[in-house]
Amino acid sequence: MVVFDSALSAAQVRNLERALSEESEGVLVYDRTDLILNIFAQRAQSHEGKLQVELARLEHLSTRLVRGWTHLERQRGGLGKTGGPGEKQIELDRRLIGERVKKLKEQIRKLSKNRSTQRARRVRSGVLRVALVGYTNAGKSTLFNRLARTHAYVADKLFATLDTTTRKLWLAEGAQVALSDTVGFVRDLPHSLVDAFRATLEETAQADLLLHVIDAASPQRDEQLEAVNAVLNEIGAGKVPQIVVWNKIDQRPGLEPEVVRDSCGKILNIKVSAASGAGIDLLREVLAEAAREAARPLASAA
């Protein structure tokens, strides 16, 4: 198997496999999108997550059916689902994939409608909606478990979380938030995945506040921050207010729990360790402050 960290066309994949197979029999070639889709397929647990991954994989497959067919000249006769007179195998497969994609989109649309109803209920309650966002494996789920005192799945893996989980947090008197743990992002995220997971990603775009979790110990933290912001802009969440949360400070000597503000007192970032619990109380105070500020206009209107 050979994996390329870039997008390849179907023709490029076919030509590379032919060339590499001359040296070693049966070499498979995957590009970046193939790799990410395969990882997502392994991680999907919920019904909605599996539907979204299948949709992304089928839409990606439909653009490169030529890769798997060496018998494109073979035509199938007959009627109905076996194809009309003269329908080529590749045309039949494209039609079957198209029908399955249509069914998947309808199922996801119904699930999205249910999610929208739940979101509207939270809006009417006046609770501040906070979403955890960040690069994959930045520690969002560990932080979510610390804050919500729950047991969402955590693993040292790429895309361990594919399903959005929301919990209501009581922080202090008059300070409640609805906290959502979301799927992690990655640079050059395939558009087919963004489209397939749009219903889930809407939870981020509709939030009142984003906690942008960054792995402070990662050498690529600056590039990861930019990659996440690029995806946020793509899904329409670029203008949602955000607070940067530098996580894993226990793995970077010299960093201590701290809330950093600008000259006007606005919170810029906060340093914590979700694994050890350092700075979590500071983060809860920050969220309580944000919740109270959001509640003031509602109280004035009432």
Residue 155's CB is within 10 A of a number of other CB atoms, namely 12
Query: In the prediction, which pLDDT does 77 show?
Result: 44
Q: Which residues contact 276 (CB under 8 A, 6 or more apart)?
A: 250
What residues does each domain of the chain span? 2-102, 125-301
Give yes or no for a contact between 130 and 180, defined as CB atoms under 8 angstroms apart: yes
Query: In the prediction, which pLDDT does 71 show?
Result: 41
**Average pLDDT of each block of 10 consecutive residues along the chain (302 residues)?**
88 88 82 84 74 81 59 43 53 80 84 68 72 90 87 53 74 82 78 66 84 95 92 88 95 93 91 95 93 67 48
Query: In the prediction, which pLDDT does 183 show?
Result: 77
Query: 125-301 domain in CATH 3.20.20.140?
Result: no
> Each residue of 170-188: pLDDT tens digit?
887 768 888 988 877 877 7
> Each residue of 152-175: pLDDT tens digit?
555 555 555 556 778 888 887 768
Domain 2-102 and domain 125-301 have a common topology: yes
- Work out the mean pLDDT of the chain and round it to a whole number: 79
Query: In the prediction, which pLDDT does 229 show?
Result: 93
Q: Which fold has domain 2-102?
A: Rossmann fold (3.40.50)
Query: In the prediction, which pLDDT does 298 show?
Result: 47
Residue 40's CB is within 10 A of a number of other CB atoms, namely 24
Which residue, among 26, 51, 45, 20, has the nearest Cα to 196 in the 3D structure?
51
